[in-house]
Amino acid sequence: MTVIGFVLWYICCLLAYGLLCLIQIPLIKLDRWWISAIGVLPKILLAAWAAYSFVSVAEISPFLINCLLGVIYIVLWADAVNDIVMLILHLAKKTDRGLKVRLITGTAITLVFLTYSILNMQIVTAREHVYTTDKISRDHRFVFVADIHYGSSQTEDAVDGMIGDIRDLDPEFIVLGGDITDEFTTKDELYSLYSKLGAMDIPVYFIYGNHDRQEGSDNVGGRTYSDEDLRNAIESNGITILCDEYTVIDDEIILLGREDSSHDTRIPVDSLPKLPDNGYIINIDHSPYNYEDILNTGADLQLSGHTHAGQLFPLSIIYRFGVDNIYGEFRRGSTDLYVSSGASGWSVPLRTEAHCNYEVITVRSARNRT
């Protein structure tokens, strides 16, 4: 996202908020407190609908539709909050609640909400996790990062800052958990990113997500790189692709990388290569929703991304009514499952759910500990 892109977001949201106020002028002029109270719920529900529609159609709809849904989401939430402010003014016996005051406070709320949404997408921080096992002889510390979506909703500076922070941590290895690039990534950006990731002088492993191969590119102008370009950009920078394959690290960490569940070449669990009998198994699967696979891989730990923690509030709440693997720590049989909020989001530069994160994982040896 460029500076011009951010400016356009501010202009579009302010114009949309002005239009929304214009539509409501007849009701505002009535100056009835109960109108503001009644108006809150429909606006919140419509904002939730816009958020859900964005996530549901983002891969199959034109980019401008996604942007429109994002603008609707921002202005409806801002006006719902403004209705609450107007109600508070009424209860506080403040008489000046007319159109001018409403427009000023609503514009301010829109600016604040939009600014938070944008900044929440641009700031990427580390989250620490510790898992203890008696299957290893020493501690292992590595980084898991998913959903960078390079070239999409974040600035290049934000991604470069994250890469620098990861390099400074000096982990034993790094796992890229899918959707590192997407349909908005140019070929130059593809090679640039993997050049930076491969230059850290740290072993890096990669699995595919549902966007890396630009499978939804028809809706954003077509592909900008081929599958061969993607593989070449990854492997030419010394990064290992794990696609229904595993590798053994230091004779005791078994790292299994799965093909994305959206791809028809994904191998069933019972057809995967036989894993070693001894060692701590870490399964990397971009999507956390393959419940049967989670139980059948025999993994001690699974790391996933894909969900962006919902990206737009209140989607994390809505999703929990249908599925619970949206974000955070879970337990499935004998497998610990952690679903990362991801290092970025999809399409529009708006995020009002959990912050962007990469995960710093320590697998601690339980041997000889008291």
pLDDT in tens, 96-124: 556 788 889 999 999 999 999 999 999 99
Residue 364 phi, psi (nearest 5): -100, 135
Give the per-residue pLDDT at 98: 67
Q: Which two tokens stand for residue 2?
A: 């460029």
Q: What is the CA radius of gyration of the chain?
A: 23
Helix, strand, coil percent values for the chain (each to nearest 5)? 45, 20, 40
Residues of the chain whose pLDDT is less than 70?
A: 1, 28-36, 58-61, 93-98, 368-370
Give the per-residue pLDDT at 100: 80
Torsion of CA 318, 121, 53, 70, to 10 degrees: 130
Give the per-residue pLDDT at 32: 66
The percent of residues in the chain predicted with pLDDT above 90, rounded, is 71
Fold observed for domain 124-365: Purple Acid Phosphatase; chain A, domain 2 (3.60.21)
Please, is 329 exposed, middle or buried when counting C-beta atoms within 10 Å of its C-beta (0-12, 13-18, 19+)? exposed
CB atoms within 10 A of CB 34: 10
Give the per-residue pLDDT at 351: 96
Gap between the Cα atoms of 150 and 351, Å rounded: 16
* Segments of the chain assigned to CATH 3.60.21.10: 124-365
The residue among 247, 250, 209, 244 whose CA lies nearest residue 230 is 209
Q: 121-159 burial string, b = 16+ CB within 10 Å, else e? A: bbebeeeebebebebbeeebbbbbbbbbbbbbbbbeebb
Give the per-residue pLDDT at 167: 96
Give the per-residue pLDDT at 94: 62
Contact 42, 57 (CB under 8 A): no
Strands 124-133 and 356-365: parallel
Look over the chain and give the mean of its residue pLDDT values, rounded to a whole number. 91
